[in-house]
Amino acid sequence: MKKLIALSIFACACGTARAADEIRPEPKPVMTRLEAPPIPPLELPVDPDAEDLYLGHLAGYLLEDVMMNWTPAPKQVPAAFLPEVAWDIARAVVHEPEDPGHCATVKATDGRRRCLWGVPGWNSDHAKAVLLAAVGYWEGARYAKSVDDGSCNDPAWRADPANATLIHLTGNCDGGRAHSIFQIWPRVGSAHDSPINASCDKDAVAVRYTAARCALQILRMSMMQSSDLTGYTGETPPPGTSASWKEQAIRPLDTGEGSWRQKSTVRLEFARKALKKHPFLPSSE
């Protein structure tokens, strides 16, 4: 098994490439502190045959049952190759590193230890995969190819008048600072950058698979902290709010325009509806 990236997340400020129905001025990034100790690489005996079968089944479910049933990007927006996106998301979830300090683990039949997030409904591999895919869908302008392949991070590409219409539909990746369909701001050494651990540097977020693994760790910390995605989206309660995020998270979700956690709620409910509509069935093989 390839050595897993050990990463600790100190903060996240994720940009959002616009979905076609989400065109609006780019929001200012908000810093959110999410602390965790370094995560050791996972070194456990794994049955490669069982893993390959399970990966294929999980990726197939994610692609055919879930992602292919979501409204695609408009025809003016070329999309990434969805089978590859589904495969990388499934791999990221299956290879999620252990985090002994922040989640309990359970040993699976294939020899791996799965990290339990402790949030009802979000501990299984397929639920995590659907959540990660939902975040990539919304953050990545419905899996826009220009967001996925890094074109929108290229100043010359953004400055080309030929791309103006596409940028209007998909966004400009926060002026090129937010990378991949997960719109992660990597740490590059500046005090103004999102201080994600150096493991989520520009090289890591430039590759879809490692970007997915970085995004998964940020999602995990956000869900374990507040049972929502506000730690990922960078949304914070209004000044003077006395209740903790955890307490607010168990109240009825506020989805209206202007809600302080509207982006988090949209993404989380999108994933939850997909899971309810398309239940995961274990492989018969």
How do residues 92-144 score in pLDDT, each as one tens digit? 999 886 665 566 777 665 566 778 888 899 999 999 999 999 999 999 999 99
Which contiguous run of DSSP H or E holds residue 204?
helix 202-205
Give the C-alpha distances (Å, rounded to integers) separating 78 from 60, 123, 134, 144, 180: 22, 33, 18, 6, 15
Is the full-model pTM beyond 0.75? yes
Q: What is the pLDDT, as a whole number, of residue 186?
A: 84
Whether 139 maps to a domain, the answer reads: yes
Question: Within a domain: residue 5?
Answer: no
Question: Nearest to residue 70, comparing CAs of 13, 140, 161, 142?
Answer: 142
143 touches 73 (CB < 8 A): yes
Tell whether the model's pLDDT for residue 176 goes beyond 80.
Answer: yes
Answer for the pair 142, 77: CB distance below 8 angstroms, yes or no. yes
What local confidence, expressed as pLDDT, does residue 117 receive? 87
Q: Is residue 284 included in any domain, yes or no?
A: no
- Domain enclosing residue 145, as ranges: 11-234+244-277
In a domain, 282, yes or no: no
**Tens of pLDDT along 252-269?**
445 555 567 889 999 999
Tell me whether residue 283 is in a domain: no
Residues 6+ apart with CB under 8 A from 12: 32, 34, 184, 185, 194, 196, 218, 221, 222, 231, 232, 234
Q: Tell me whether residue 2 is in a domain.
A: no
CB 232 within 8 A of CB 216: no
Listed ranges 20-29, 173-182, 249-258; the one with the highest mean pLDDT: 173-182
**Predicted local distance difference test score (pLDDT) of residue 11:** 36
Sole residue written with tokens 């008048």: 161
| C-alpha to C-alpha distances, 11 to 30, 32, 183, 191, nearest whole angstrom | 10, 5, 14, 12
- pLDDT score at 109: 57
Side-chain-side CA neighbours of residue 228 (13 Å):
28
285 domain-assigned? no
Tens of pLDDT, residue by residue over 189-218, are: 655 444 445 568 888 999 999 999 999 989
Q: Which of the four pLDDT bands, split at 50, 70 and 90, describes residue 85? A: very high
Length of the chain in terms of residues written: 285
Higher pLDDT, residue 283 or 267: 267
Question: In the chain, how many domains are there?
Answer: 1
Residue-level pLDDT at 157: 98
Least confident of 44-58, 212-226, 237-251, 271-285: 237-251
Question: Is residue 147, in this structure, part of any structural domain at all?
Answer: yes
